[in-house]
Amino acid sequence: MMAIHKKELEVAALENGTVIDHIPSNQLFKVVSLLGLEHLNKSITIGNNLISKKIGHKGIIKIADTFFKEEEINKIALIAPNAKINIIRDYQVIEKRVVTLPDELTGIIRCNNPKCITNNEPMNTVFRVINKETVEVKCKYCERAISQKDIEIR
């Protein structure tokens, strides 16, 4: 009798924590960095280039025993505006959220104007969101507008 080998990756179910789903594959590791997950001492499962009916290919992140504040999770909207957040308790999804771009972002984006004070003095950047649909932001200090494709995370 021939043995049948499973080729699928099996991942343990998440008892408690946060699942971030529908991240564009090319933005997955930016989300990891934006949330500082590389410094988190928790079990983290990352899947990338998974087939998605909605966006073609997607990334997903499962973080055990970790729950984020709304303002932390909403930063994801900068680079993954259609990401979905699932809060898990006792292996059940108890809450589903969509990310929403805040009106102002502090210390997240690097201003691409080399003459901006934020690039020449030790201070946080502050950007106002001027278009939530197309993800366009404007530096509070030098008034430089930056579109989503040109946003550089600090």
- pLDDT one-digit tens code per residue, 106-116: 999 999 999 99
**Dihedral Cα 149, 134, 26, 112, nearest 10 deg:** 30
The model's pTM is: 0.81
Average pLDDT over residues 121-134: 94
What CA–CA distance (Å, rounded) separates 90 from 68? 17
pLDDT for 54 equals 81
Q: Are 31 and 23 in contact (CB under 8 A)?
A: yes
Average pLDDT over residues 37-51: 93
Judged against a pLDDT cut of 80, whether residue 8 lies above it is answered with no
